[in-house]
Every structure is written in structure tokens, then in C-alpha cells.
Amino acid sequence: MTFKPVDYTLMNCADGRMFEDSGWTLADPQSKTPSLVRAVYKERKFTLRDDLDGFYRFANWLPVKRTLNHSSAPVTYKSKALAEYLSLDNLYITFSGYYPEIGASMQTCSFKETEAYSVCARLPENEERILVVASAGNTARAFAKVCSDNGIRLLLSIPEDNIHALWFEKPLDSCVRIMAAPKGADYFDAIALGDKVCESPRFFAEGGAKNIARRDGMGTTLLSAVEVIGRIPDAYFQAIGSGTGTIAVWENNLRLIEDGRFGSHKMKLYPSQNDPFTIMYDSWKAGSRELLPLTPDEARKQASIIKAKVLSNRKPPYSLAGGLYDAMKDAGGDIYKVTNDELDQWKERYHALEGVDIYSAAAVAVSSLEKAVKDGTVKHDDIIMLNITGGGEELAKAHKKVVYAQPDIVLDPALPASEIIGKVEKLF
């Protein structure tokens, strides 16, 4: 079918300036603008696209130029067993993953698919440059699947220690190549590798939190919840590595208030981190807009300890205008931290209560919800949205055969950019 690109302008969160979308310049992580850029859609009412399937039902609030094949959307339902266990009257779970019993069919079992289907659909079909995505695991799997299915050239940069996260239902198309930082490296090392590759004009960075397509794709979790609940929730729980997902739902909360039909309130935000990798928790508790100091060695040590490896971004978009600090200050809420033992307990308990396995990061969010109930932060009759950002992997692997990808090349991020680029260019 013919898809008319969504009509939107961009707004600088620092000073409110409006300007036309000029492609990838404003989403580039090298941008000097100390602010996120937010999409302002011509369609100010939240309306679903019933003529489109899967994720693209939310296309009116996505900055996309086209639709891509095989997308799935988050699924929201009212919890019974977990809600009863926590004595909550109105607990809604937004599940991104594989759980056919509730209609969830994300093949990579992660809400990172919402990012990938939005970011890649923002690309023009005739894009000649090669997209570069750095990831600790789930994002890499999502982008690899979407690009492989749709013939989009992609270079993944991932820590070699996390290569086990790259499992798929079928081998990847040759349009996707994998570059790994060596054993002992972390997510930030993978970012450094990707940044050096992007010094070549043949490649361009996906953009991370500064990419409006990434944030608005992740923000569809709130749209899924509001579609089911009929109003903006009172409280929102999610585990965070960068905090981008929490920023994204805050931005959609503001759009929904402008719509006027779903409430005029801002839901309180309750993100959580896996102890001891708690740079945003520590900074928030210290009342600091700036991230507290964390050396690379300290970060790598902390990242090696936590079980929710995807929550180990040491330079998240916390401080910049429109970032997590601003979102938390505007909406209210708090940040929690959760130990490995606590998340392990909740992985097992959630499976028993809700009938499906979940990722360690999602278990961090559930554990933080339990803490908020116990300390009285949320009331038993509050309307609560719990963002389960990934689950059903064990179920998917029981239902399907999977294959594991391997790195096409392993490179030390300390190498000169010219040497890295020379080696990577040969992959394509």
C-alpha cells in the first residue's frame, strides 16, 4: 500500500524553537545542541490507524516515512494474579515480548522492537549510507531482525561478552554485519567503536535518545496502555539503562494532555536500576542534575556484577534539557534500585503468577513496584502501568528453533578510527 509520511515539525526542548525536520542532523549524537529535540505532530488527537497492522497502528504519532514488514505492538492487559499478590486494584501490564496467550508476538521478545520499527521506518528507502547501532544486547537483536527482514544495511556494535543475546529464528541477511568490542569490554566501549566508524561518510549513527524516532517508538507503550485503560495512568514503572523509555512515555503523556480526552494529569514516573550499577539512582538521590562521577573501570566492574546487563549505560541522557532529570522533576516520582537476588526472586515469582518468563530488566521493574507498594508510595487503588520491557524468550525458544549470530569482526575500541573504518568497510 502507499503510505503518506507523517506530518510533523521539531521543537528544541531547551528553548522551544520550532523548525522543519531536516533528516538525521538533529538526531545525531555529535550534535552540539545540549537538548533533546521533540516531535510535534500535525495530528494532535490520539487516533489509531486501523488500516495498518501491528506497531504501525500508532503511526499518527510516529515520525515515519513508510511501514516495514513483520511488526508487532506492545500488548496491555489488566493483571489479576500479580495485582492480587500486591493488593492492587488497578494494575495494568504492558507486555512487550512473546506470549501468544495474550496476543503478544514480538519475535525478539523485547520492546526494543518498538525502537527499531520506528527508527528504520524513518529512513528513506533510497538511503545509501549504512546505519550504525551500538547495543548491550536486546537493541542489537531488534535492529538486526528488522533490518534483515527489510533489506536495510546495518552495522551492529556490541560487547563480545553479550553476543549470546543475538539469537534469531533464521540466519541474518548479509545486509547486517556485527562488530564486537573484545571480551571484558562494556556497552560504552561498543558505543566508542560505533562512534569511530561514523567518522566515515559511508556510515551514520542511529542517534540514541536524541533520535525522535527511537523515543516515539518506545512511547507507544503508553499509547497501548491508554487504549486499554481509557485514561492516563497515575503511576508508571520501568527498569532503565538509559532512561529513554521513561522520557518517551513522559513526552507522550504531554501529548495526551494536549489531546484532552484522557486526563489532564502527569503520571508519576518510577524508573529503577540494578544495584550496583546505579548512576542515575545515585544522582537523583543526591539531588544532582549532573551525573555523579563514575570512572570507566568502576563502570565496567559494576556492569560485570549486575544480571540485567542491558541496564549498564554509563552516559545516559539524564542531565540534558528534556532528559530524564527534567522528566522526573516535571512529572514527579522517584528512582528505585534492585539487587540481583531481588530480581531473581521476581523472575521466578512473576512466571508463577502471570504465566510467562521475563527478562532480568523487567524483573527489576516488578521488584521496584513491590517496594513502592510496601513503602506506601503508590496507593492500592491507583491506576498503575507496569512496563514489562521483555519476556517470553524461554517460551519462544520452546516453540521455535533458533540460531545464534557470531561477530563478523572483533576490534579494540582504542584503535585509531582510520584503522577501524578500513577493516569495517571491507565487511560491506
- Terminal-to-terminal C-alpha distance of the chain: 31
Q: What is the pTM of this model?
A: 0.93
pLDDT(20) > 80: no
pLDDT digits (tens, 9 = 90+) for 212-256: 999 999 999 999 999 999 999 999 999 999 999 999 999 999 999
386 vs 237: CA distance, rounded Å: 5
Look at residue 293 and tell me if it is in a domain: yes
Instruction: Look at 119-128, 269-278, 336-345 and tell me which has the smallest mean pLDDT.
Output: 119-128
Residue 21: per-residue pLDDT: 67
Look at residue 372 and tell me if it is in a domain: yes
- Calculate Rg over the CA atoms of the chain: 20
Task: Give how many domains the chain has, as a whole number.
Answer: 1
pLDDT tier for residue 2 given thresholds of 50, 70 and 90:
low
Strand partners, 211: none
Residue 25: per-residue pLDDT: 46
111 vs 74: CA distance, rounded Å: 7
User: Which residues have C-beta within 8 Å of that of residue 210, sequence separation ≥ 6?
Assistant: 26, 27, 28, 29, 31, 36, 37, 317
Joined together, the cell numbers standing for residue 109 give 521478545
Look at residue 23 and tell me if it is in a domain: no
Query: Average pLDDT in the 16-24 region?
Result: 69
Instruction: Identify the DSSP state of 109.
Output: S
How many CB atoms are closer than 10 A to CB 1? 5
204 vs 133: CA distance, rounded Å: 9
Q: Mean pLDDT over all residues of the chain?
A: 94
pLDDT digits (tens, 9 = 90+) for 369-427: 999 999 999 999 999 999 999 999 999 999 999 999 999 999 999 999 999 999 999 99
Query: Average pLDDT in the 107-126 region?
Result: 94
Q: Is the separation of the CB atoms in 239 and 90 below 8 Å? A: no
Backbone angles phi, psi at 263, to 5 degrees: 115, 160
Domain span at residue 315 reads: 75-109+214-396
Look at residue 122 and tell me if it is in a domain: no
Surface-to-core class of residue 323, CB atoms within 10 Å of its CB (0-12 exposed, 13-18 middle, 19+ buried): buried
Residue 136: per-residue pLDDT: 77
Q: CATH number for the domain including 379? A: 3.40.50.1100
Look at residue 92 and tell me if it is in a domain: yes
Residue 24: per-residue pLDDT: 46
Joined together, the cell numbers standing for residue 331 give 512529572
Joined together, the cell numbers standing for residue 234 give 497515575
Range list of H helices, 31-180: 81-86, 112-122, 138-150
Residue 101: per-residue pLDDT: 96
- CA-CA-CA-CA torsion sign (250, 359, 74, 139): positive
Q: 35 or 105: which carries more pLDDT confidence?
A: 105
- Classify strands 154-159 and 130-134 as parallel, antiparallel or unpaired: parallel
Residue type, 187: Y
- CA-CA-CA-CA torsion sign (104, 41, 249, 34): positive
pLDDT(29) > 90: no
pLDDT digits (tens, 9 = 90+) for 301-351: 999 999 998 899 888 999 999 999 999 999 999 999 999 999 999 999 999
pLDDT tier for residue 50 given thresholds of 50, 70 and 90:
very high
337 vs 427: CA distance, rounded Å: 41
66 vs 15: CA distance, rounded Å: 30
pLDDT tier for residue 15 given thresholds of 50, 70 and 90:
confident
Q: 202 or 20: which carries more pLDDT confidence?
A: 202
Look at residue 218 and tell me if it is in a domain: yes
Look at residue 114 and tell me if it is in a domain: no
Look at residue 221 and tell me if it is in a domain: yes
Residue 1: per-residue pLDDT: 54
Cis bond upstream, residue 276 (ω within 30): yes
